[in-house]
Amino acid sequence: MTRANPVWLDLREFANGAPLNEATCALVVDLDDPMLAPFTALAPTARDLDDMAGPLAGPRRYFLARRALLRSFVAMRLKCRAGEVVIGHDGNGAPRVLAPGPSVFASVTARGSIAGMAVADTPVGIDIEPHDSTQEPVWTVLHPAERAFIETQWREHRDAARFIETWAAKEAYLKAIGLGLKRDPATIAARFDGAGGFSIEDDAEPGTAQSGVHGDIMIGGRSVCRAVIALEP
């Protein structure tokens, strides 16, 4: 049986308590949006306060808002109270659901006030990348299968959109496998189907592919590429 693609929730669906019945649900929001206030105001746990001091936490205000929102997101999935949810992290800084039980997987990404998060029943990764960058693509992170098209787009149009999409898909996958940049990104290739889906082919897993979804969203006055992938069991 083919596994269903991850489902993007919009802010209104989330705020209105839409049931999270899909295998993988993802959300990208502006933490400064007043609609999120009931969720981001959740009192922090002792673990939240400890983690806030970590080197990867970023600004206190947004870290606590992200953590509170993730706890609310997990609670909606597990059909429990947000106050029962405790989030920690692994050695790479990736979030882990510690309570009420490690029955779901989570991933978080952030750029200032813009945050993305995903909850799934298998390891999951999410990434967001702003489209407002005019910097030349980082060629060394590209797989040979990706490079020719991206080079053409950059050389002829100074257009980095496909690079940004490619990097978002690759980073989401690297988060899902739990290695992040400990793996060389040039050893994995992202392929896009033109309909909002992508697949990842990993040189370390020849003959297999993992699939996810991507797309652009206007949020916080910025165009952002978002990508999420949950691993096949």
Cβ burial, residue 192 (10 Å; 0-12/13-18/19+):
middle
Please, are residues 186 and 143 in contact by the beta-carbon 8 Å criterion? Answer: yes
Asked if residue 100 has a cis previous peptide bond (ω within 30° of 0), the answer is yes
* 135 and 114 share one domain: no
Mean pLDDT (the chain, rounded): 92
Using N-to-C axis directions, what is the helix angle for 161-176 and 144-157, rounded to 10°?
150
Give the pLDDT mean for 140-147: 96
* 108 and 163 share one domain: no
Give the pLDDT mean for 115-130: 96
* 111 and 146 share one domain: no
In whole angstroms, give the CA distance from residue 232 to residue 7. Answer: 15
State which residues form the domain around 106: 7-121
Each residue's pLDDT tens digit, 14-57: 999 888 888 899 999 999 999 999 999 999 999 999 998 877 77
Q: Can you give the pLDDT at residue 44?
A: 95
Q: Can you give the pLDDT at residue 1?
A: 35
Instruction: Give the global pTM.
Output: 0.94
Domain count, the chain: 2
* 112 and 139 share one domain: no
Give the pLDDT mean for 206-227: 93
* 55 and 99 share one domain: yes
Which of 24, 2, 71 has the alpha carbon at shortest distance from 176?
24
* 100 and 163 share one domain: no
* 74 and 160 share one domain: no
Give the pLDDT mean for 135-162: 94
CATH number at residue 169: 3.90.470
CATH number at residue 96: 3.90.470.20
